[in-house]
Amino acid sequence: MVIRRLPEEGSLVRGRSRCEHCGAVLTVRDLVPFASWLATAGRCRHCGARLGWFYPAVELAALALALIALGVDHGAAAWLDFLLGCWLLALGWIDVDHGVLPDSLTLPLIAVGLLVVGTLQPDDVADRVPGAALGYLFLAGVAWAYRRLRGREGLGLGDAKLFAAAGAWVGAFALPSVLLGAAVSALAAAAVMVLCGRSLSRSSALPFGPFLAAATWAVWLYGPIRF
């Protein structure tokens, strides 16, 4: 719901879920994760239109996040891992679909990260606040330098805000690990795209948000790389 509605400025709390093709209101039997999609063979129960793989893909991704969180932590800590993972999943998916990282998700993520650390690990706040500031300033500076040198946008401020959120959650000293993980995974994705026959050039655009999101969650779960 967040991935679909938020970029289109739709309400997340008002309005019933509807078929995107015929507008029919969806009931509980249509909204059971994955099972409803399987039961109707991936089609709307009312008009028969194909629903595509978006819904089951998001639901299976969320299931994978839950299983990973339970494999790393338990109890309340696993729920927190899962919440952060779903938040980052929504941000990454929106960036892929729309090329934007909404302030309505990135800015609260910074605040929640600082609140969580302040509540659970108050001694680490001195690392998290500078982490958020450094995360934003670093990528904002990279974006400014790229624009000055190339005369076009190469990195959005949404990426800088997401990196600030990473700093709020994992701290200043873990930011190099997040950035390295994001850069390496982005290069690997580009290499796979080329191997699959997609033509890439210096002007090709590849959203960085999904890679920042994945690297942030990995560092949150497993800690920074030991150099």
User: How far is the C-alpha of 125 from the C-alpha of 118, rounded, in Å?
Assistant: 6
Segment 112-148, tens digit of pLDDT: 999 999 999 898 899 999 999 999 999 999 989 988 8
- Name, of 10-19, 63-72, 117-126, the range with top average pLDDT: 63-72
pLDDT band at 32 (very low <50, low <70, confident <90, very high): confident
Task: Look at the pTM and tell me if it is higher than 0.85.
Answer: yes
Residue 68 has pLDDT above 90, yes or no: yes
Coil, strand or helix: which one is 43?
strand
User: How far is the C-alpha of 165 from the C-alpha of 221, rounded, in Å?
Assistant: 15
User: How far is the C-alpha of 132 from the C-alpha of 143, rounded, in Å?
Assistant: 17
pLDDT at 9: 67
pLDDT band at 89 (very low <50, low <70, confident <90, very high): very high
pLDDT higher at 68 or 121: 68
pLDDT at 13: 58
pLDDT at 221: 96
Q: Select from 85, 58, 64 the least CA-distant residue to 3.
A: 58
Strand partners, 18: 25
User: How far is the C-alpha of 66 from the C-alpha of 63, rounded, in Å?
Assistant: 5
Q: What percent of the chain has pLDDT over 90?
A: 55
pLDDT higher at 3 or 15: 3
Residue 14 has pLDDT above 80, yes or no: no
